[in-house]
Amino acid sequence: MSAPATAKAGGMAVLWLLLFVLWLILNSSLAVPILATGAIVSFAIAWIFARRSPVWQLSVTPRTAWHFLAYTGRFFIELVKANLNMLRYVYAPRIDIHPGIVKVHVRLKTPVGRLALANSIALTPGSLVMDLRDDAMFIHWLNVETTDPERATDLMVRPFERHLEAVFG
């Protein structure tokens, strides 16, 4: 199999797996008819998207799989930390926050890598991606810790970016 064909098959497998897991979560059942239907529907959608879009042409190797698992672990750690911060804000007698918009730098080049990064930031409570221009991302931060773009990049982007760059480029 040629490299583009391998990448297309790898991307389709990844997309199929993601869609199938989502199907299982949404259905909350491991009944055989639900498993079979989910596998077929997920495969059909993954096949259509992988054939029609270069976004899903991913090369799946043990290294990229490890980085994806490391990214997932890092995302859950950051998610828990952000939720604990939100609890602190909600239950504090006086809310002491300093909201604002910060600029961070992004090294990721692929659309799916940038999308994954933007979603990772937006899904952690207290931050929301507002705009993406060239290599800059503008983020609304509930409690701005720094306005320095390099420091803000280190705090908000770097935990995810290293692993996403290995997976998506």
77 and 146 together in one domain: yes
> Could you give the number of structural domains in the chain?
2
Q: Are 108 and 153 in contact (CB under 8 A)?
A: no
Q: Which residues contact 14 (CB under 8 A, 6 or more apart)?
A: 56, 58, 60
pLDDT for the residue 2: 47
Domain final residue, candidates 20, 41, 56: 56
134 and 116 in one domain? yes
Inter-axis angle of helices 62-91 and 158-168, to 10 degrees? 150
Q: 50 lies in which domain range?
A: 5-56
The predicted pLDDT at position 10 comes to: 67
Residues 125 and 160 in one domain: yes
Q: Report the alpha-carbon distance of residue 52 to residue 13 in Å, rounded.
A: 15
pLDDT at 8: 53
Same domain, 43 and 68: no
pLDDT tens-place values along the chain, 169 residues long: 444 555 456 667 878 888 999 999 999 999 999 999 999 999 999 888 877 776 666 677 788 889 888 998 999 998 999 999 889 888 988 888 889 999 999 998 888 888 889 999 988 888 899 999 888 999 998 888 888 889 988 888 888 888 888 887 7
121 and 51 in a single domain? The answer is: no
Reduce the DSSP state of residue 129 to 3 states and report it.
strand
73: how many CB neighbours lie within 10 A of its CB?
Answer: 11
160 and 92 in a common domain? yes
Residue 97 to residue 112: CA distance in whole angstroms: 32
Which residues are paired to 128 by β-bridges?
Answer: 140
51 and 67 in a single domain? The answer is no
What is the reported pLDDT for 32? Answer: 95
Q: What is the pLDDT of residue 5?
A: 52
Do 45 and 95 reside in the same domain of the chain?
no
Task: Look at residue 104 and give its three-state secondary structure.
Answer: strand
Q: What is the pLDDT of residue 38?
A: 94
What is the predicted pLDDT for the residue at 98?
87
Whether residues 95 and 119 share a domain: the answer is yes
Domain identity same for 39 and 122: no
Rounded to two decimals, the pTM is: 0.71
**Residues 74, 146: one domain?**
yes
Residues 68 and 141 placed together within one structural domain of the fold = yes
User: Do 129 and 118 form a contact (C-beta atoms < 8 A)?
Assistant: yes
Strand 100-105 and strand 127-133: the pairing is unpaired
Q: Give the other-Cβ count within 10 Å of 54's Cβ.
A: 13
